[in-house]
Chains A and B, each alone.
Chain A
Amino acid sequence: MAETALPGPGGGPDFESWACPLPLRDYPRVVLGHGGGGALSEELVRHLFVPAFGNPALDALGDASLVDVPAGRLALSTDGFVVRPLVFPGGSIGELAVNGTVNDLAMRGATPLYLTAGFVIEEGLAMSVLGTVVARMAAAAAAAGVQIVAGDTKVVERGHGDSLYVTTTGVGVVPSGLPPIGPAQARPGDKVLLSGSIGDHGIAVMSVRESLAFETAIVSDCAALHGLVGCILHDDGRIRVLRDPTRGGLAATLNEIATASAVGIVIDERRVPVKPEVRGACDLLGLDPWHVANEGKCVAVVAADAAAEVLAAWRAHPLGRDAAIIGEVEAGRPGLVATRTSLGATRVVPMPLGELLPRIC
């Protein structure tokens, strides 16, 4: 957290024992002063962030945190989170900020170790909301076994931000012996696996958007995936690609892999798990579930002779119970993703253009 030394004993007022006529701790909303680097900032850090994320590296409140790193290659990733609303069925911006970065590390085969977190807060955000987000971040970090070891808080004037943005940076370690895992490693003949049903996160968030509230039992699939990845990692090179299909959904992820590896990918549409409620909501909104975001699913491209093993390992894992082999990699038509439809026809799965735009009818 932004570090400001407290005036020590005998060196000016001692804020800890001084009774302020306007108790600092009782601001119901974030005010500009919480980002000003003074007493209010200090207060926020000491009474909100440090207790929530508490660990020796953070508690030291130094300009930088010192942490131990095991042998191997460092994996680094950073990501900004701007989701609305801040809290949605099955998660919040807090869980997303932790799991999103943990997953980015996991997709390279890294064991996530440490996170840093930056908060850009709009003046006026209810302190209780910030508290909830921070508590959920802490819980997600604990569940993922990572420590939040440094951070920063800025407050922007009302109207100059959208209540709260969170940026997390993650550090992990890839064991030295692990062959490269990445989007460019897919080879013809490989199998494509998906760890579970798609579209849950995007539909859960949309279901509570102000302009779009509709009833659904769908909750976000937001989860840290390094456990799911860890149980299939091998140093024999048979795991080629790991990707979490977030924004742009499954369609974007498959297209990225096909392009990066210069291979074709053919998916059997019937094998891609989509919950009936998600499909129903997508039908209603004119959206394609293959374009909707996920926050707790993994696509793996693996050597054909590893597919059964990976499938079994995933199905035995709580986050992979609905895992399926959904298709294969082929040499023809590099960069192209195609799918066999339930009618037995074949069509191209295009890269989604950008925003999800519900159709008019």
Chain B
Amino acid sequence: MRYLDEFRDGDLARRLADDITRIVTRPWAIMEVCGGQTHAIIRNGIDQILPPEIELIHGPGCPVCVTPLEVIDQAIAIAARPGVIFCSFGDMLRVPGSSRDLFQVKSEGGDVRVVYSPLDAVRLAQAHPEREVVFFAIGFETTAPANAMAVHVARQHGVRNFSMLVSHVLVPPAIAAIMTAPRNRVQAFLAAGHVCAVMGLRGYPALAERFHVPIVVTGFEPLDVLEGIRRAVRQLEAGEARVENAYARVVTDEGNTAAQRMLAEVFEVSDRAWRGIGTIPGSGWRLADAYREFDAAIRFDVGGIRTAESPLCRSGEVLQGALKPNECPAFGTTCTPRTPLGATMVSGEGACAAYYHYGRFRAAAPTA
């Protein structure tokens, strides 16, 4: 843990910020793609120690935020069925569907459980052969290998009462979508270190070249994030657009090839809807044909559930950096963490919630 503390050292952080101030000559807009980085930025106040030229745009990298409303509604429909044990990571429970959330389903008698690993859900299925156990498989390339493994293990052990509601999303197509959006302002990306730990740098050099945009693979501790920003600024100032790995202690070029093989076995690339953004071609995974029998959407026939977003919520623009959360008319009034309209206000890592919690009083930061 001492190791971690080194990456949170305040003096080193300020030196890095000074460095950035020294090399920056004009305004730059940099997007951190990942919700974990947004969290680190807001929690530590990294944006406050950066020079005013650097604008950080919080990207779509929070899996909770980008899971479409209709998938939440599908999850709720499955969870409400008698005989089902519905398993999810904790932070999905409070995300509102169109009329209620999974917590409410639980209070109404649904068997909704928080698990910490998809394999726990498989074990539950083994322990309760008379019930249907469903795992809510959301997330980026990071959480996908464990989910793929769970399906694989279920097949190997002949666990027939286990299935998954899959809504996985992929980062590189999202970067392409952001760069081609008409109102795009992003000039450089901090790529998510843990995604690259799994997938390696695959796909990123092509993006950097095609859009002439620097992409710096970055970790999650304050110093990691600052170092990522420093390298991005250096490239921007020099007119370069390369993929740089600022997280080499975790990320290799090839990534985790065993995990990649597992993913290729169980999943196949599909078009995927992103909450607030819309469908991005080739930006998700679904279960491969050979594993369709584990698809909860098919097993429970909820694929037909379609839901429209609140017309008030502008999280799509927020997720693409076209709108700051506090510029949304609903921000802090009809939309608060207690009464969220969009998922970006629900998740603690969502840009709107982060602004609400931590940024609300920033202008009047205490001087004491």
Interface 1/0 per residue, B27-47 and A, CB below 8 Å? 000000001100000111111
6 contacting pairs across A/B (C-beta < 8 A): A212-B116, A270-B10, A357-B90, A357-B93, A359-B349, A360-B90
Contacts of B364 in A (CB 8 A): 332-333
Min distance, Cβ B15 to any Cβ of chain A, angstroms:
11
B219 contacts the other chain (Cβ, under 8 Å)? no
Is B1 within 8 A of A280, CB to CB?
Answer: yes
Interface 1/0 per residue, B69-104 and A, CB below 8 Å? 000000000000000000001111110000000000
Interface 1/0 per residue, A268-307 and B, CB below 8 Å? 0010000011011001011000000000000000000000
Interface 1/0 per residue, A117-147 and B, CB below 8 Å? 0000000000000000000000000000000
**A336 and B63 alpha carbons, distance in the complex (Å):** 30
Contacts of B348 in A (CB 8 A): 359
Is A346 within 8 A of B48, CB to CB?
Answer: yes
Contacts of A341 in B (CB 8 A): 10, 43-45
Contacts of B366 in A (CB 8 A): 264, 266, 330, 332-333, 338, 346
A19 contacts the other chain (Cβ, under 8 Å)? no
Is B36 within 8 A of A361, CB to CB?
Answer: yes
Contact of B90 among A277, A280, A359 (CB under 8 A): A359
Contacts of A353 in B (CB 8 A): 94, 337-338
Of the four ranges (under 10, 10 to 19, 20 to 34, 35 or more), the interface on chain A belongs to: 35 or more
Is B143 within 8 A of A361, CB to CB?
Answer: yes
Contact of B368 among A266, A283, A359, A361 (CB under 8 A): A266
Is A276 within 8 A of B1, CB to CB?
Answer: yes
Min distance, Cβ A301 to any Cβ of chain B, angstroms:
15
Among B348-364, those with CB < 8 Å from A are 348-349, 357-362, 364
**A111 and B357 alpha carbons, distance in the complex (Å):** 39
- How many chain B residues touch A (CB < 8 A): the figure is 55
The listed residue with most A CB atoms (<10 A of its CB), out of B2, B90, B194, is B90
Contacts of A330 in B (CB 8 A): 366, 368
Is B89 within 8 A of A346, CB to CB?
Answer: no
Min distance, Cβ B343 to any Cβ of chain A, angstroms:
12
Contacts of B206 in A (CB 8 A): none
Contacts of B362 in A (CB 8 A): 346-348
Is A359 within 8 A of B114, CB to CB?
Answer: no
The listed residue with most A CB atoms (<10 A of its CB), out of B2, B4, B366, is B366
**A359 and B337 alpha carbons, distance in the complex (Å):** 16
**A266 and B115 alpha carbons, distance in the complex (Å):** 36
A358 contacts the other chain (Cβ, under 8 Å)? yes
Contacts of B17 in A (CB 8 A): 343
Contacts of B8 in A (CB 8 A): 342
**A357 and B95 alpha carbons, distance in the complex (Å):** 12
Is B94 within 8 A of A357, CB to CB?
Answer: yes
A190 contacts the other chain (Cβ, under 8 Å)? no
Given A330-B368, A344-B49, A345-B48, 14 other A-B contacts at CB below 8 A? A211-B113, A277-B1, A341-B43, A342-B10, A343-B17, A344-B10, A344-B45, A348-B357, A348-B359, A348-B360, A353-B337, A357-B93, A358-B116, A361-B63
**A343 and B14 alpha carbons, distance in the complex (Å):** 7
Is B360 within 8 A of A360, CB to CB?
Answer: no
A350 contacts the other chain (Cβ, under 8 Å)? yes
The listed residue with most B CB atoms (<10 A of its CB), out of A277, A328, A332, is A332
> When A280-B1, A359-B348 are in contact, do A346 and B140 touch as well, CB less than 8 Å?
no
> When A211-B116, A359-B90 are in contact, do A343 and B143 touch as well, CB less than 8 Å?
no
Interface 1/0 per residue, B322-348 and A, CB below 8 Å? 000000000000000110000000011
**A324 and B162 alpha carbons, distance in the complex (Å):** 51
B64 contacts the other chain (Cβ, under 8 Å)? yes
Is B1 within 8 A of A343, CB to CB?
Answer: no
Which 9 A-B residue pairs are closest in the complex by CB-CB distance?
A345-B45, A357-B90, A276-B1, A345-B48, A346-B365, A342-B10, A347-B358, A350-B357, A360-B89
Contacts of B63 in A (CB 8 A): 360-361
Chain A interface residues toward B at CB < 8 A = 211-212, 264, 266, 270, 276-277, 279-280, 283, 285-286, 328, 330, 332-333, 336, 338, 341-348, 350, 353, 355-361
**A358 and B349 alpha carbons, distance in the complex (Å):** 12
**A353 and B139 alpha carbons, distance in the complex (Å):** 23
Min distance, Cβ A258 to any Cβ of chain B, angstroms:
12
B142 contacts the other chain (Cβ, under 8 Å)? yes
Is B114 within 8 A of A211, CB to CB?
Answer: yes
Contacts of A283 in B (CB 8 A): 4
Min distance, Cβ A306 to any Cβ of chain B, angstroms:
19
Contacts of B116 in A (CB 8 A): 211-212, 285, 358
Is A360 within 8 A of B91, CB to CB?
Answer: yes
Nearest A residue to B120, CB-CB: A211
Nearest B residue to A287, CB-CB: B90
B170 contacts the other chain (Cβ, under 8 Å)? no
B222 contacts the other chain (Cβ, under 8 Å)? yes
B13 contacts the other chain (Cβ, under 8 Å)? yes
> When A343-B46, A344-B10, A345-B45 are in contact, do A338 and B337 touch as well, CB less than 8 Å?
no
The listed residue with most B CB atoms (<10 A of its CB), out of A286, A341, A353, is A341
Is B114 within 8 A of A360, CB to CB?
Answer: no
Is A343 within 8 A of B120, CB to CB?
Answer: no
Is A357 within 8 A of B49, CB to CB?
Answer: no
Nearest A residue to B90, CB-CB: A357
Contacts of A360 in B (CB 8 A): 63-64, 89-92, 138-139, 143
Nearest A residue to B364, CB-CB: A333
> When A280-B1, A338-B361, A361-B194 are in contact, do A345 and B368 touch as well, CB less than 8 Å?
no
Min distance, Cβ B7 to any Cβ of chain A, angstroms:
11
**A280 and B221 alpha carbons, distance in the complex (Å):** 13
Min distance, Cβ A231 to any Cβ of chain B, angstroms:
29
Among B194-253, those with CB < 8 Å from A are 194, 222
Min distance, Cβ B353 to any Cβ of chain A, angstroms:
9
**A360 and B2 alpha carbons, distance in the complex (Å):** 24
Nearest B residue to A264, CB-CB: B366
B271 contacts the other chain (Cβ, under 8 Å)? no
